[in-house]
Amino acid sequence: MKKRKDGFSGERALILPLAIIHEMEKDPISSTLHITDIGYYPKAENHFRERSEPISQYILIYCVEGAGWFSVNNEMHQVKCNQYFILPAGVPHKYGSDESNPWTIYWIHFKGKLAAQFSAGLSYPIDIKPSVNSRISGRIDLFEEIFHTYEMGYSHENLLYASSVYFHFLGSLRYLQQYRNAIKDESTENDLVTAAIHFMKENIEKKLSLTEIADHIGYSPSHFSILFNRRTGYSPIYYFNQLKVQQACRLLDFTDMKINQICHKVGIDDSYYFTRLFTKMMGMSPKKYKKQQKG
């Protein structure tokens, strides 16, 4: 991946050592499917990559915000929010972020005996639209589990576990409806407030307006606000910010992400605003909270 020299604020990436990749290629389990590179680029302005010389990895790019594009086999495709695609191995390609609305992406390079089967037919934008049972946040948790496992070191067990979780991650995309139906809760489908909260959680990395949330539910902003406040005791936007701080606490508790990285993971670009919001809701700054948890 090519990026600006100063990188992207909040970015995270890991490139596995060549010796580790060779180890995975020899193992009967990880040789079927294994990751070589993995990362997250929030609001990746000026992001562009062109490979005229093909590489041996497949490349998965999952856009969760903004927009971008890619070209493969002389075909240009526009990529929107909540879409993913997989570039085939051994084929020249290029891709990049939209100039006016840069994408936020999760990306993974992978190989293996089953890589072609998992990637077949996915070299065009595939929709992953939020719904009551979409489980987008669960999929992102799988990505974080893989990333954190690698951060803990490249022991043989870690490599096998990460490869196993990646099977699940890819399955959640390729077998989308089965993934959604696996824990479907019929009792929540007609509950508008529950549906709104689920929509907030599925879009925790974004800035949602009251109108966008109300539109998703099918109500006017004013009517929706009354219903939501009556049920929860909070306005929709305040509740959404509570969810963002809750997610930030989880990331502070269980990851080594820096504050500016966590900001982007909860849809807040301004680290100073994030600190003020966190302090207001938690009674202490994110830095103090992190220090207290370690103590």
Return the closest-CA partner of residue 137 out of 260, 265, 238. Answer: 265
Cα–Cα distance measured from residue 250 to residue 231, given in angstroms and rounded to the nearest whole number: 25
Q: Hey, what are 231's tokens?
A: 């049920």
Q: Are strands 12-15 and 34-41 parallel, antiparallel or unpaired?
A: antiparallel
Q: List, in order of start, the domains of the chain with CATH numbers.
A: 12-181 (2.60.120.280), 189-294 (1.10.10.60)
Q: Indicate whether this model's pTM tops 0.75.
A: yes
Read off φ and ψ for residue 100, nearest 5 degrees.
Answer: -95, -20
Residue 218: phi and psi, rounded to 5, are: 90, 25
Each residue of 118-173: pLDDT tens digit? Answer: 999 999 999 998 776 788 889 999 999 999 999 999 999 999 999 999 999 999 99
Mark the ranges of the chain whose per-residue pLDDT is less than 70. Answer: 1-8, 132, 184-190, 293-295
Residues contacting residue 97 through CB under 8 Å, at least 6 positions apart: 44, 45, 46, 47, 48, 66, 67, 68, 103
Per-residue pLDDT of 1-19, as tens digits, reads 444 445 667 889 999 999 9
Where would I find the H helices in the chain? 18-26, 115-119, 136-151, 156-174, 176-181, 192-202, 210-217, 221-232, 236-254, 259-265, 271-282, 286-294
